[in-house]
């Protein structure tokens, strides 16, 4: 698959796909599948294929889950790739409890001595100030500053100039320690508290959401999208795989449909597949997919 680079890297064979980080430093021109999986039966509740990374995906998927389930009395678990303040704000507005893994602090944001990182400065909501580990008060001038995706205040103190631990607290030789507090910090702190109080629950995340993908990718061998004709067709491919996974999973859980025998349905589907393929541009190996469905329970 070739690609050309301008402002955004695009695939020349599928113009809707985008250059994204897959894991670590590994990147591919690809799509991202956002899914919602229930913890009891490991069934797909919802999916959405996108050409963006995870950072701005949580709010959309939570809205969809709330609409599908018609309730907000559930807890949603996410990995650290979803740790975005604005998405925490959306979850709070929806009234949905979330547990999102907390990413480590980047080296550029760390103090020379980690015990003086901003996370160890105590915030006083009533006074809108911070107290540092040396018991100095950091205050704000009340102004909000604009970053790319959020607004923030800055907190500092003149005590930095004469503080004995300045060299291990900050790398700034002129301004001293400056603590930034974003408009979304209260929601980030709520998540931090939730994660701290629900460690055992959060440990279930990988077993819940990776169950379908482990089955589809490792057991069935469907580890990539074959369609290269736009996000709509790619979404149809993933949707078909998800549907078959749900059906197979339901059969394993004991569900039996009181309708036309399944073998008859599959025979009719196979008979009409070539016609459907021409209409919907579905390029999956349907035979292999339904062979998985028909495997002995």
Most confident of 98-112, 157-171, 199-213: 157-171
For position 266, what pLDDT does the model report? 62
pLDDT tens by residue, 119-175: 999 999 999 999 999 999 999 999 999 998 899 999 999 999 999 999 999 998 888
More confident residue, 110 or 269: 110
**Rounded (10°) angle between helices 286-294 and 262-280:** 160
Give 130's strand partners: 123, 138
The span from the CA of 53 to the CA of 22, in Å, is 9
Per-residue pLDDT tens over the stretch 281-293:
444 555 566 566 5
Residue 4 clears pLDDT 50, i.e. is over it: no
State pLDDT tens for residues 53-68.
899 999 999 999 999 9
> E strands along the chain, which residues?
3-5, 9-11, 18-23, 26-30, 32-37, 44-50, 75-78, 97-100, 122-124, 129-131, 137-139, 145-146, 151-155, 179-182
- Dist. CA 207–CA 40, nearest whole Å: 11
Arithmetic mean of pLDDT, 5-27: 72
pLDDT over 70 at 273, yes or no: no
175 by DSSP, 3-state: which?
coil
- Distance from C-alpha of 215 to C-alpha of 200, rounded to nearest angstrom: 24
Please report, in angstroms and rounded to a whole number, the separation of the first and last CA atoms in the chain: 38
Neighbours of 147 (CB within 10 A): 10
**Mean pLDDT confidence for 72-97:** 96
Report field, pTM of the whole predicted structure over 0.85: no
């Amino acid at each position: 698959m070739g690609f050309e680079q301008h402002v955004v890297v695009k695939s020349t064979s599928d113009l809707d796909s985008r250059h994204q980080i897959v894991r670590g430093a590994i990147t591919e021109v690809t799509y991202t599948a956002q899914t919602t999986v229930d913890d009891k039966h490991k069934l797909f509740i919802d999916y959405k294929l996108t050409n963006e990374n995870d950072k701005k995906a949580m709010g959309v998927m939570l809205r969809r889950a709330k609409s599908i389930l018609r309730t907000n009395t559930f807890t949603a678990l996410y990995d650290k790739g979803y740790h975005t303040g604005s998405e925490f704000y959306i979850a709070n507005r929806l009234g949905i409890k979330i547990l999102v893994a907390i990413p480590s602090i980047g080296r550029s944001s760390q103090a020379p001595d980690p015990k003086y990182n901003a996370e160890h400065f105590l915030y006083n909501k009533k006074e809108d100030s911070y107290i540092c580990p040396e018991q100095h008060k950091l205050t704000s001038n009340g102004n909000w500053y604009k970053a790319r995706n959020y607004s923030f205040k800055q907190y500092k103190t003149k005590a930095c100039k004469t503080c004995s631990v300045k060299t291990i607290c900050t790398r700034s030789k002129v301004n001293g320690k400056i603590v930034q507090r974003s408009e979304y910090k209260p929601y980030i702190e709520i998540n931090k508290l939730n994660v701290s109080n629900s460690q055992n629950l959060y440990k279930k995340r990988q077993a819940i959401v990776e169950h379908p993908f482990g089955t589809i990718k490792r057991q069935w061998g469907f580890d990539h999208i074959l369609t290269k004709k736009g996000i709509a067709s790619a979404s149809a491919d993933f949707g078909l795989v998800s549907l078959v996974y749900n059906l197979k999973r339901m059969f394993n859980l004991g569900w039996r449909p009181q309708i036309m025998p399944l073998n008859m349905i599959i025979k009719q589907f196979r008979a009409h597949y070539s016609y459907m393929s021409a209409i919907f541009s579905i390029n999956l190996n349907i035979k292999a997919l339904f062979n998985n469905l028909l495997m002995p329970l």
